Amino acid sequence: MSALADRLRADLAAALKARDLRRVKVLRTVTAVIANAEAVPVTESPTTTSTTSGPIAGAAAGLGSAEAARRELGDDDVRALVAGERDERLAAAAQVDGTAPERAAELRAAAEMLAAYL
Q: What is the pLDDT of residue 69?
A: 77
Residue 104 has pLDDT above 80, yes or no: yes
Let me know if residue 35 belongs to a domain: yes
Structural domain boundaries enclosing 67? 3-40+61-115
Give the 3-state secondary structure of residue 72.
coil
| DSSP designation for 71 | P
Let me know if residue 72 belongs to a domain: yes
pLDDT tens per residue, range 26-66: 999 999 999 999 988 766 444 445 555 566 666 666 656 66
Residue 42: closest CA among 13, 5, 71? 71
Let me know if residue 14 belongs to a domain: yes
Q: What is the pLDDT of residue 39?
A: 87
Let me know if residue 50 belongs to a domain: no
Let me know if residue 56 belongs to a domain: no
- The domain tally of the chain equals 1
Question: Model pTM?
Answer: 0.78
User: Max CA-CA distance within the chain?
Assistant: 57
Let me know if residue 51 belongs to a domain: no
